[in-house]
Amino acid sequence: MNKTGFIGLGIMGRPMARNLMKAGYPLVVYDINPDAVKELVNDGAEAAWSSAGVAAQCDVVITMLPNSPDVRDAVLGPAGVIEGIKPGSVIIDMSSIAPLVSREIAEKLLAKDVIMLDAPVSGGEPKAIEGTLAIMVGGPEDTFNRVKDILSVMGASVKLVGDTGSGNIAKLANQIIVALNIAAIGEAMTLATKAGVDPEKVYQAIRGGLAGSTALDAKMPLILDGNFKPGFRIELHIKDLINALDTTKQLDVPGILTEEVLGIMEWLKADGKGKDDHGGLIQYYEEAAKVQVRKRS
């Protein structure tokens, strides 16, 4: 089996890379954090010491990085993927970045006879560990079919959305819906608690109806325990909502609710909670209402 490259071994990249190794894919890995590289080497991966070094050894290279500038630098910058990649190779960028940046990078790679897919994910660290992420892909269908088996190791849902950049458009839509859903949970459950009603019983009463959602079931048990350990950090969701609003402005689409929730998240970050899970958004409402939405003994 040919080697697969993996660049970016953070909170999401580490478990995604491990799942590939468990499935039998030989990995060459790189991260700017040498400790993260050593951790994956201990699990059986081979280390490279630059993005170019990864690309020189692999026909398929996966990137999983925080934001647009990080991907641009890792792919197009000094010692970047573009300096080591072979013609005919595929880059799968699984980061959540601005769609126009995806298209810009893809165009520069195409000049080297390299195809890039944008394939951002949803599900956070728990689903990254389980290998059950939702993966939204943009790019040529024949290239998608070539690497679908690799993506299926990391995701339970792997869907081709359209041309390059479409995966990140789908991810922005996802992040808007998730952010607004979590904000609605915070607002509603703070109201119930302030009114003297047990929020856990409210949750159980409404989860089977139209108000029920994956976000409600994923976040409400953690909220009730006061557990805001990050699966997906508020500061990263801020980045996604800023990308979403930049895109809405470019396309002349209203982003009214997105702007409101972004403001709440930025308030929480300024209050020192940027590294909390995005389910911790409820803390804004709790602070305003002077109550805590927690399980009752």
Say whether 268 sits in a helix, a strand or coil: helix
Is-contact 185 220, C-beta < 8 A? yes
> H helices of 195-213, where?
199-206
Q: Which residues pair with 27 in a beta bridge?
A: 4
Active centre residues (catalytic):
171
Question: Which whole-number Å values give the CA distances from 81 to 76, 92, 93, 200, in the listed order?
Answer: 7, 12, 12, 49
The whole-angstrom separation of Cα 62 and Cα 91 is: 6
Residue 164 is classified by DSSP as T
Tokens linked to 24: 């039998």
- CA dist 95 and 175 (Å) reads 13
Structure tokens at 192: 């119930």
Q: What distance in Å separates the CA atoms of residue 156 and residue 279, rounded to the nearest whole number?
A: 23
**Hey, what are 57's tokens?**
């050894």
Element (H, E) at 157: strand 155-162
